[in-house]
Amino acid sequence: NIGKDRPVIRQLDDAAINRIAAGEVVERPASAVKELVENAIDAGAARIAIEIADGGKTLIRVTDDGCGIAPGDLPLALARHATSKIDGTDLLDIHSFGFRGEALPSLGAVGRLTLTSRAPGHDAAMIRVAGGTIEPVKPAALRAGTVAELRDLFYATPARLKFMRSDRAETQAIADVVKRLAMAEPSVGFTLRDMSGGGSRETFRADAEQGELFDALTARLAGVMGRDFTDNALRIDATRDGLRLYGLAALPTYSRGAAVAQFLFVNGRPVRDRMLTGALRGAYADFLSRDRHPVAALFIDCAPSLVDVNVHPAKSEVRFRDPGTARGLIVSALRHALAGAGHRASTTVSG
């Protein structure tokens, strides 16, 4: 009679595993948008159209003109730990947003996901997965690229559904995600439309920017953060020990009462990192009173081997091999720029 209460060890099935993983990867509609838009960027898209309804809870549709997926690969795109982006031999050499092969299976486990795609030289095809149940690939009509349509997010996990905030709050979070990715990719065009209630309202648009790095970046940042920012910002461009820091940092006179306009990117990836925001704060310490916060959009680029992006599934944290170098670079480059600007300002005043 020991058998009665003895716990039995079972292998979970894929649907259960994907639902559990989804808890980490897909916290709210904005995280689903992030995953789908990152996939579009990874696919080399020049234009990405994002449509949402009801804060993304009922509909998220991302349309891109990227490389597409061949019909035979569609089931793999939905399979767990299947990715076209790395071969697993060098996790320190990652050049794409994705690499875990977790997003699509997770989304398909907690919502209804349809992928329609066409790769050059192939017919268009589609595949559907709902609540983890995958349907066979079917022919479809599409000229090029991919449409990823996610409906009824979290319908399969009602507990998670209860944690959703208002449509307004979720829509705002989605817009933030899209804007951050738009800042990271000036050469890609983005549109965000709200289709709630059967309407179609453009809530954000950033046309593809051409030109040299700083010109394209400045134009994109003006579009996303406002021309006030770019008109009142210093160009930052500095290197140290294999790290390059570039971007725009606002003059101390253009500061904020809260740390709400600080955008940091590592190897093109939007990150939220305490060490980096701490460095930003430190750099402005001599130029701002304690209740004011700097405004900046800063990019650190380095060899993928110098930074580990494999810290968390949502991947907004990074770990530098040498955090001191990143910190020192930010502090010294910004201080130098700010001191020079102060100097120029006082020269102008006295002259």
Contact residues for ligand ADP (CB under 6 A)?
35, 39-40, 43, 64, 66-69, 77, 83-85, 98-104, 146, 148
Find the binder of Mg ion among 53, 103, 271, 300 (CB under 5 A): 103
Q: Which does residue 245 bind out of ligand ADP, Mg ion, none, counting CB within 5 to 8 angstroms by kind?
A: none
**66 belongs to the binding site for Mg ion (CB under 5 A):** no
Dist. CA 251–CA 287, nearest whole Å? 9
Nearer Cβ to ligand ADP (118/180):
118
Q: What is the rounded CA–CA span in Å between residue 30 and residue 42? A: 18
CA distance readout (Å), 32 to 7, 29, 42, 201: 36, 5, 15, 20
What CA–CA distance (Å, rounded) separates 4 from 332?
Answer: 67
User: What is the closest distance, in whole angstroms, from the C-beta atom of residue 85 to Mg ion in the complex?
Assistant: 8
Residue 80 tokens, joined? 């767990």
Q: Which residues contact 239 (CB under 8 A, 6 or more apart)?
A: 245, 329
Closer residue to Mg ion, CB minimum distance, 314 or 341: 314
40 binds, among ligand ADP, Mg ion, none (CB under 5 to 8 A by kind): ligand ADP
Residue 105 near Mg ion by CB under 5 A: no
Q: Which of positions 20-39 make contact with Mg ion (CB under 5 A)?
A: 39
CB of 82 to ligand ADP, least distance (A): 6
Contact 314, 25 (CB under 8 A): yes
- Among 98, 111, 145, 186, indicate the residue that binds Mg ion (CB under 5 A): 98
> How much helix, strand and coil, in percent to the nearest 5, is found in the chain?
40, 25, 40
Q: Which is nearer to ligand ADP, 31 or 277 (CB)?
A: 31
